[in-house]
A and B are shown apart, each in its own frame.
Chain A
Amino acid sequence: MGRVSRAAWIYIAAVVVAAASVVAPRLSGPPMGTGWWLSLGVLMLLFLICDSVPTPLAERQSAWSPSSSATLAAVVLLGPVGAALVGAVSVLGLRRKLQPAERVFNGGMSAVSGFAAGQTFVALGGRIGLPRPADFPSIVWPFAAAAAAHVIVNLGLMWGVLQLTRSDGPRRIQMESSVPLLLASDLGYAALGLVIAALWTVMGPFAAALVLVPLFVARWAMGQFAEQRRAYGATMEALCQAVETKDYYTRGHSERVSRGSGMIARQIGMHADRSEAIMFAGMLHDVGKLGVPTKVLQKTGPLTEEEFAAIQLHPMRGLEIVREIGFLNEALAGIMHHHEKIDGTGYPMGFAGDEIPEFARVIAVADAFDSMTSTRSYREARRMSEAIEELRRGAGSQFDPVMVEAFIAALHREGWRLPERAAAPADRQTVTAQDHDDPTAPLRVIDSL
Chain B
Amino acid sequence: MAIREADDRLPSWQAMDSGRLLLLAAVGMLVVAAVAHTAAARLTEPQTAIAFGSVIAIGELLRLRQQGGREAAPVATAAALAYALLLRVGALPGSQPVPHVAALQVITVTAVGMTVGALPHMAAGRPAGLTGMATRLVAVACVAFAFRPIAGTEIISGPGHWWIAFMVMTVLVVIGWLAEAMIASLIRADDLGARFSVALWDEMRIQLPLGAAVGVSAMMITFAAEVMGLAGLAVFMGPLLVTQVAFRRYAGISATYLQTVRALARVTEVGGYVESGHSRRVSRLAVAVGRELGLAEADLLDLEYAALMHDIGQLALPDPIPGGATVLVSIEDQRRIAELGADVISKAGVLDRVAELVRCQSWPSRGHDPEPPVGSRIIRAANAFDDLVGGSTDRDRTAAALERLRLDTASEYDPGVVEALSEVAGKRLASRLE
A→B interface (CB under 8 Å): 55-57, 131-133, 136-137, 140, 185, 187-192, 194-195, 198-199, 201-203, 206, 210-211, 213-215, 217-222, 224-225, 228-232, 234-239, 241-243, 245-246, 287-288, 290-291, 293-294, 317, 320-327, 429-430
Contact = CB atoms under 8 A, between A and B. Distances in A.
A132 B266 CA distance: 64
Given A133-B92, A199-B223, A321-B266, A232 B253 contact: yes
A317 B186 CA distance: 43
B25 interface: no
Given A214-B216, A218-B242, A228-B254, A56 B235 contact: no
14 contacts: A57-B245, A133-B95, A188-B239, A194-B228, A198-B227, A224-B250, A225-B253, A234-B349, A235-B261, A237-B347, A239-B309, A287-B264, A323-B263, A325-B260
Given A228-B257, A235-B257, A218 B227 contact: no
Contact of A195 (B229, B232, B249): B232
Nearest to A232: B257
Given A133-B228, A221-B250, A225-B246, 20 more contacts: A133-B91, A133-B226, A185-B242, A195-B235, A198-B224, A198-B227, A206-B163, A217-B210, A218-B243, A222-B246, A222-B250, A225-B253, A229-B253, A235-B257, A239-B264, A239-B312, A242-B316, A321-B264, A322-B263, A324-B259
A133 B90 contact: yes
Interface in B255-277: 255-257, 259-264, 266-267, 270-272
A194 B235 contact: yes
Given A218-B243, A294-B318, A241 B220 contact: no
A242 B312 contact: yes
A284 to B, nearest CB: 8
A260 B379 CA distance: 39
Given A187-B238, A324-B262, A202 B227 contact: yes
B196 interface: no
Nearest to B349: A234
Contacts of A57: 242, 245
A179 B170 CA distance: 38
B51 interface: no
A240 B58 CA distance: 43
A325 B229 CA distance: 47
| Residue among B213, B344, B348 with most chain A CB within 10 A | B348
Contacts of A219: 246
Nearest to B88: A133
A192 B227 contact: no
A219 B217 CA distance: 15
B270 A238 contact: no
Given A137-B231, A202-B162, A220-B209, A188 B238 contact: yes
Interface string B89-110: 0111101000000000000000
A194 B223 CA distance: 13
B241 interface: yes
A235 B265 CA distance: 11
A435 B345 CA distance: 27
Given A198-B224, A241-B347, A327-B256, A221 B261 contact: no
A325 B259 contact: yes
A245 B315 CA distance: 7
A137 B210 CA distance: 30
Contacts of B344: 238-239, 241-242
Contacts of A203: 162-163, 166, 223
Contact of A235 (B242, B260, B319): B260
B267 to A, nearest CB: 5
Interface of B: 90-93, 95, 162-163, 166, 209-210, 212-213, 216-217, 219-220, 223-224, 226-229, 231-232, 235-236, 238-243, 245-247, 249-250, 252-257, 259-264, 266-267, 270-272, 309, 312, 315-316, 318-319, 344-345, 347-351
Nearest to B345: A238
Given A239-B344, A321-B270, A214 B243 contact: yes
A140 B232 CA distance: 10
Contacts of B245: 56-57, 185
Given A194-B235, A202-B162, A202-B227, A291 B271 contact: yes
B233 to A, nearest CB: 10
Nearest to B242: A188
A191 B235 contact: yes
B319 A294 contact: yes
Contacts of B262: 324
A327 B309 CA distance: 21
A188 B257 CA distance: 29
Contacts of B253: 225, 228-229, 232
A169 B231 CA distance: 43
Contacts of B162: 202-203
A56 B249 contact: yes
A56 B242 contact: yes
A235 B348 contact: yes
Contact of A236 (B217, B229, B250, B264): B264
B71 to A, nearest CB: 16
A192 B238 contact: yes
Contacts of B264: 236, 239, 287, 321-322
A326 to B, nearest CB: 6
A9 B88 CA distance: 53
Given A202-B227, A218-B213, A327-B256, A290 B267 contact: yes
